[in-house]
Amino acid sequence: MKKMITFTINGELRSVEVEPNDILLHILRDKLGVTSPKIGCERGDCGTCTILLNGKSVRSCLMLAVEADGQEIITVEGLSDDGLTPLQDAFIKHNSFQCGFCAPGMILAATELLEKNPHPTKGEVKEAIAGNLCRCTGYEPIIEAVLDVSSQSN
């Protein structure tokens, strides 16, 4: 029943053999060594497993690995070829994380927002990251980082 699937992960074409009921999150972490998507709740509530699938943020805990066949996936490991993105820099500057467990997913959700809408309002930022839970920061420093990047871009 195993199936070979192939997809682009952080710019590299990789193939992996999966069971039909394998969850994408587990394959990324256990078979491909991409560990920035975290196991938080495994039911789509918390957003720590967020990845960008063809540019859109999705929860890799709710997706079967076979569904990723032929798609393009980006995680924080592959956000930039050269140093940090302005958003990653802003996360450091604004203390937008504490324990850091939500940070990869949060950064991807905010990256997607800024791609689609480079100058969001505070309300739009809140909406965009509302599916990603953070227990440490109280969210304000995350929102500040996103708005800071937005204000720096043309």
Partner 1 sequence: MSQANQIKGKIMEELKYIGKSFPRIDGKEKVTGAAQYVDDLEYGPNLLHTEIVESTEPFAKIIKIDTSRAEKVPGVVTVITGKDFPYKFGLYMKDRYIMAQDVVRFVGEQVAAVIARDPKTARRAAKLVKVKYEPLTPVFDQMEAIKKNPILIHPDLGEYTHVPWFYPKAKTNIAHWKKVRLGDMEKGFAEADVILEDTYHVPRYAHCCMESHIAVGKLDQADRLTVWSSSQSPHTQRHLFAEALAPLGFTHKDIRVITPFIGGGFGGKAGVTMEILAAAFATKVKGNPVKVRWTRAQEFYNTYMRQAVLSKLKMGAKKDGTITAFEISNYWDAGPYVEYGANVVNASGLSAAGPYRIPNVKIDSLCIYTNLPAAGPYRGFGYSEMMFGVESHMERMAQKLGMDPVEFRKKNAFKGGDLLVYGAPMNANGFDECIDRVAEAIEYGKKAVSEDPNKVIGKGIAGAWKGPAMPPNASSSAFLKFSEDGSINILVSGIDMGQGYLTVMAQIAAEILTVPVEKIRTENPDTDRNAYEWQTVASHVTWSCGNAVKRAALDAREQIFETVHAAYLYDKSTLYLEDECVKCTIDPEFSLPLKDFVIDGIMVKDGTFRGGPILGKGMFMPEFSSTKSDPETSQGGKPNVHYTVGAGGLIIEIDKETGKVKVLKVAEAFDVGKAINPDLVNGQILGGFMQGLATALYEDMRFGENGEILNPNFTDYKIPTALDIPDEIIPIIVEVPQNDGPYGARGIGEHTMIPVMPAIANAVEDALGIRIKSMPITAEKIAMAIKAGVKEVD
DSSP string, 86-132: HHHHHHHHTT--SS-SSHHHHHHHHHHHHHH-SS--HHHHHHHHTTS
Compute the least distance from the CB of residue 54 to partner 1, in Å: 20
Cα–Cα distance measured from residue 64 to residue 50, given in angstroms and rounded to the nearest whole number: 14
Cα–Cα distance measured from residue 55 to residue 115, given in angstroms and rounded to the nearest whole number: 9
> Which stretch in 1-9, 45-53, 62-70, 111-119 sits in contact with partner 1 by CB under 8 A?
45-53
Using the minimum distance from each CB to partner 1, give the nearer residue, 110 or 154. Answer: 110
> Which stretch in 1-9, 65-73, 101-109, 111-119 sits in contact with partner 1 by CB under 8 A?
101-109
Interface positions, 123-152, toward partner 1 (CB under 8 A): 125-127, 129-143
Using the minimum distance from each CB to partner 1, give the nearer residue, 66 or 136. Answer: 136
102 lies in the binding site for partner 1 (CB under 8 A):
yes
Cα–Cα distance measured from residue 10 to residue 75, given in angstroms and rounded to the nearest whole number: 7
- Dig out the tokens for 65 from the structure: 């690995």
Cα–Cα distance measured from residue 141 to residue 139, given in angstroms and rounded to the nearest whole number: 6
Cα–Cα distance measured from residue 95 to residue 51, given in angstroms and rounded to the nearest whole number: 22
103 lies in the binding site for partner 1 (CB under 8 A):
yes
Contact between 114 and 29 under an 8 Å Cβ cutoff? The reply is no
Binding pattern for the stretch 55-94 against partner 1, x by CB under 8 A and - elsewhere:
--------------------xxx------x---x--xxx-
Using the minimum distance from each CB to partner 1, give the nearer residue, 5 or 134. Answer: 134
Kindly list the residues in this chain that would bind partner 1 in the complex (CB under 8 A).
Answer: 29, 33, 35-36, 38-43, 45-46, 48, 75-77, 84, 88, 91-93, 95, 97-104, 107, 125-127, 129-143
